[in-house]
Amino acid sequence: MARLPCKIIKGNQPLLAEAIPGIKAESDESNICYFHVVIADAQDSPFERGTFKLELFLPAEYPMAEPKVYLMSKIYHPNVDKLGRICLDILNYKWFPAQQIPTVLLLIQALLGASNPDDLNDGRPTKTKP
């Protein structure tokens, strides 16, 4: 497996340095492209004081291709399917290479605290908003 470029590793250092409140990530010892993530839920949400375990994998095409993120904690949430796939547009059809992993995890944390029932599990809106 090819090593990640230094630019990508440097861009994700805040993630590994625990500089993001409520988010902790550790790279896997056997694969630097695989991360174990724990996200603490925001206050004033249905899952307040909850913690969520996620798996994050950077594919070989990263940053041109989106990271693969799965919620491992079992919860009932309109934006997470039973396999743990997260319905978030930047993880699907709105991904762009300049997006940073810490930002993605912050958006997942926000989504877990405030669901968006107008989205399907593939990340595409079910109806248009006026």
Catalytic residue list? 87
Per-residue confidence (pLDDT) for residue 55, from 0 to 100: 96
Mean pLDDT by groups of 10 residues along the chain of 130 residues: 53 60 86 88 65 92 92 87 91 90 89 70 43
Q: Taking the domains of the chain in order of start, what are their residue ranges? A: 6-110
Per-residue confidence (pLDDT) for residue 130, from 0 to 100: 39
Tokens of 23: 């988010």
How far is the C-alpha of 117 from the C-alpha of 79, rounded, in Å? 7
Name the residue among 77, 98, 76, 72 with its Cα closest to residue 88.
Answer: 77
Q: Are 37 and 56 in contact (CB under 8 A)?
A: yes
Per-residue confidence (pLDDT) for residue 126, from 0 to 100: 43
Per-residue confidence (pLDDT) for residue 114, from 0 to 100: 76
Per-residue confidence (pLDDT) for residue 51, from 0 to 100: 87
CATH, domain range 6-110:
3.10.110.10
